[in-house]
Amino acid sequence: MEMYRILTQIQHSCSLICCIQCTLSYPKKWYHMKVNRCFFCATFHAPTYGDVLKEWEWQFIKSGESDRQEFVQEYLRQMKEWCRHYHIMPSKDDERMEKDIEYG
* Predicted model pTM: 0.77
What confidence tier does 1 reach under pLDDT thresholds 50, 70, 90? low
CA dihedral 49, 50, 51, 57 (to 10 degrees): 120
Render pLDDT for 37-94 as a digit per residue (tens, 0 to 9): 999 999 998 899 999 999 999 989 988 899 999 999 999 999 999 999 999 999 999 9
Please give the biggest Cα pair distance in the chain: 49
Given a contact cutoff of 8 angstroms between Cβ atoms, the answer to whether 101 and 56 are in contact is yes
Q: Where are the alpha helices (DSSP H) in 14-91?
A: 39-43, 49-54, 56-63, 68-85
Q: Is the pLDDT of residue 26 over 90?
A: no
The residue ranges of every structural domain in the chain are 1-38, 44-104
25: which strand partners? 18
Distance of alpha carbon 77 from alpha carbon 26, whole angstroms: 11
> What's the confidence (pLDDT) of residue 29?
84
